[in-house]
Amino acid sequence: MHKKLNACTKTKGCGIQMPTVDEFFSKLRECTKNNWTINNSLILACQCLAWKNGVKDLQGACVTLGNAYFVDRS
């Protein structure tokens, strides 16, 4: 999928427009509020980054990242 996306953007001469931080956070908060699948995926992705890839800043924070209780109050 990644190779196809890169090939498409090169061929068409365009790029991917990323949302602003505020816009992304707003959508993330809305989507994760009551979605167990997304919450669980966020926690697993955080754990992978923190422990398998050594991102020490995330160690200890993963439990709150996908937790609907904390997302709702952030």
pLDDT digits (tens, 9 = 90+) for 5-25: 777 777 877 776 778 888 887
**Predicted TM-score of the model (pTM):** 0.48
- pLDDT reported for residue 30: 75
Residue 44 lies in a domain: yes
Asked if 11 contacts 54 with a C-beta cutoff of 8 angstroms, the reply is no
Domain count of the fold of the chain: 1
Instruction: Name the residue range of residue 58's domain.
Output: 35-74
Whether residue 70 is contained in a domain is answered as: yes
Residue 10 located in a structural domain = no
Per the listing, tokens 């995926």 go with: 41
Going by C-alpha positions, the residue among 27, 20, 21 that lies closest to residue 71 is 27
Residue 47 lies in a domain: yes
Q: What is the number of other CB atoms lying within 10 angstroms of the CB of residue 41?
A: 13
Q: Which of 1, 68, 74, 72 is nearest to 35 (CA)?
A: 68
Tokens 């993963």, residue located: 62
